[in-house]
Amino acid sequence: MLTPVRIFSKTFFISRINIRTQRLVTIIAVVLFIVKLVAWWLTDSVSILTDALESTVNVVAGMISLYSVIVAAKPRDKNHPYGHGKAEFVSAAVEGSLIFVAGSVIIFEAVRTYFHPRKIDSLDSGIILVSITAVINFIVGTYTMRTGYKNNSLALIASGKHLRTDTFSTLGIVAGLLLIYFTGWLWVDSVVAISFAVLILITGAKIIRRSLAGIMDESDAKLLAQLVEKVNANRNENWIDLHKLRIIKFGSILHVDCHLTVPWYLTVREAHAEVDRFSEFVKKEFGESVELFIHSDGCENFSCSICLKQDCQVRQHDFVKRLHWTIEMVSDDSKHSLKT
């Protein structure tokens, strides 16, 4: 079992990777923003302006995310016993809000341009420049998302998704510009801009929703389901029951607490060994950046009917049925029986 010092060292290493990744994202966002501004200056296309405005959000959001990742990497202290990981939720909320505002501004400008079309110049150069930014955004976005999922960083996941969305919207804009290039239909510029502005609004709303869920400590049903499924498949006979299971995510660290029912006659040392065994199993499945707070409970008479232990010398009732734990069951505040 890893000591707190080794857990902190591993967490610190992961945090450094997150910071380096987010710094790369921020630098690239600035460069691509400049490229898109040049493309807009050459063409005066509202579609490219749409892309440039979203890149403005990329730059600001990247800086905010970089700051949040640095803050989240700070070790716990007296005033923050669970660490500083929630800074990432705040960062994601700000980024989602900025994306939402940018989408609204783009729609306004696109509608205005639809009724008052403007001549578009140097389309070929604009298409080439914007296409290059799409390729770079896709590569960086994919790398950032993978790093975020690997290290449980909401800020990196949000940045990666934003960059990937930016890639697809840019490709759609390029398609619209190509249509204008070959047909001369200037109204397509505004329609394309409005279409992808709606996509931007949806993306911003999803990021805001997820960040607020983290700030409010909303249960992660998917993660909880994975844990319950794995425990069901690898249950030890001394793990008679499981309840009051909670999972909270702060930055890259998962905090898990639960009540584990074990045979009542185990000594303190034996009960603690079962707790350690359960902890090691969870860390093996979900990584070492997990903190577990497990309370051991002694079994009751009604536990006999669901107890898998075969050599129990003090069994009061016959074994009847193995309970298949569900999210609802393990989240309950009380021990279970066949009547549960």
Residues 6 or more apart in contact with residue 339 via CB below 8 angstroms = 302
Q: Which residue has the tokens 């350690």?
A: 276
d(CA 52, CA 131): 13
Give residue 239's pLDDT: 92
Residues 289/18, Cβ–Cβ less than 8 Å: no
pTM of the model: 0.54
Measure CA of the first residue to CA of the last residue in the chain; give whole Å: 34
Mean pLDDT of 209-224: 69
d(CA 281, CA 284): 5
Q: For the CA atoms of 103, 106, 112, 114, what is the dihedral angle to 10 degrees?
A: -100
CA distances from 92 to 58, 67, 99, 229 (A): 12, 12, 10, 30
Look at residues 67, 80, 84, 120 and name the one whose alpha carbon lies nearest to residue 12.
84
- Strand order across the beta sheet in which 290-298 lies: 241-250, 253-262, 290-298
289 confidence band (pLDDT: 50, 70, 90): low
2 confidence band (pLDDT: 50, 70, 90): very low
Mean pLDDT of 13-37: 77
159 confidence band (pLDDT: 50, 70, 90): confident
Q: Where are the beta strands (DSSP E) in 76-174?
A: none
